[in-house]
Chain A
Amino acid sequence: DAKTTQPNSMESNEEEPVHLPCNHSTISGTDYIHWYRQLPSQGPEYVIHGLTSNVNNRMASLAIAEDRKSSTLILHRATLRDAAVYYCILRDVESGGGADGLTFGKGTHLIIQP
C-alpha cells in the first residue's frame, strides 16, 4: 500500500469544525482512501472511505482532491468524544483483494479543547 503523510497532532475547540489533512502523492488508481480513528484504550474504529468523489456519512465527510494526491477528513462539529488518533490509510483492494488488512502509520492525534 502507498504511503500517507499526516500531521502528528492537531488541536481544535469543541463545537467547531475540524479539518484533518492527509497527503498521499504516490496513490495509485485502485487505492481507496480509508479513515479510522482510535479512542483512548480502544481498538480502531472505521470512520469513512472513498475513491474519487467526496463522501458523507453520519460521522464525518471525506473531501478528496481532484488529483487524489491529498484528502481531508472533516468533522463538522467536534465534541470531546472526538478526541482520538485519526489514521489515513490507502487500501488497494485490486491487489490481493485487500486480504492483508490495513497498514497503519502513526496518525494524527486530535486534541479537543472544551
Chain B
Amino acid sequence: NAGVTQTPKFRILKIGQSMTLQCAQDMNHNYMYWYRQDPGMGLKLIYYSVGAGITDKGEVPNGYNVSRSTTEDFPLRLELAAPSQTSVYFCASSYYGGSPLHFGNGTRLTVT
C-alpha cells in the first residue's frame, strides 16, 4: 500500500514550457486535491475532484488544468510555465469530504 505517489520529485522548467505532474493513490479514495506551497507559507488549494470525471477549481487555479479519468489518478497540467509557478506541489486524497487527507511527498518545481 503505497498511499499517495507523486512524480517527479524535482523538475526545472524554462518559461513557456509545459509539463504534467503525476499523482496516483491506491487507497480507493474518492476525493483528490492539488495544493501548492510557497516558501514559508501554508498550502493553497489549486484544484480538487470528488470522483472520476468531476473536477472543480480551488483558491488558485489560474495557469493549471486537471483531469480525473480514473479513481486512482489525478494529473496536474501546467501549459505555459511562469516564474510565479515556482513552488512545491502536493497531491492529497481522502475517502470522503470529511475524512482525513493523505498527502504525497511533493514535487519541487522551479521555473526559470
- A residues bordering B, Cβ < 8 Å? 32, 34, 36, 41-46, 49, 87, 91, 93, 96-107
Contacts and interface: CB of A to CB of B under 8 A. Distances in A.
Interface of B: 4, 31, 33, 35, 40-45, 48, 50, 56, 58, 90, 92, 94, 96-98, 100-106
A34 B44 CA distance: 17
B58 to A, nearest CB: 7
A47 to B, nearest CB: 9
Given A43-B90, A46-B101, A106-B40, A97 B45 contact: no
The winner among A98, A101, A104 for most chain B CB atoms within 10 A is A101
A91 B94 CA distance: 14
A97 B96 contact: yes
A41 B58 CA distance: 23
Given A32-B98, A96-B97, A100-B58, 12 more contacts: A42-B105, A43-B4, A46-B101, A46-B102, A49-B100, A87-B42, A93-B98, A97-B98, A98-B97, A99-B56, A101-B101, A104-B44
Determine chain A's interface SS by DSSP, over half rule: loop
20 contacts: A34-B100, A36-B101, A41-B106, A42-B106, A43-B92, A43-B104, A44-B103, A87-B42, A93-B98, A99-B48, A99-B97, A100-B45, A101-B48, A101-B58, A101-B92, A101-B94, A102-B43, A102-B45, A105-B42, A107-B42
Q: Which 5 A-B pairs give the minimum distances between C-beta atoms?
A: A43-B103, A98-B97, A104-B42, A93-B98, A97-B97
Given A42-B106, A43-B90, A107-B42, A102 B97 contact: no
B102 to A, nearest CB: 7
Contact of B56 (A42, A44, A100, A105): A100
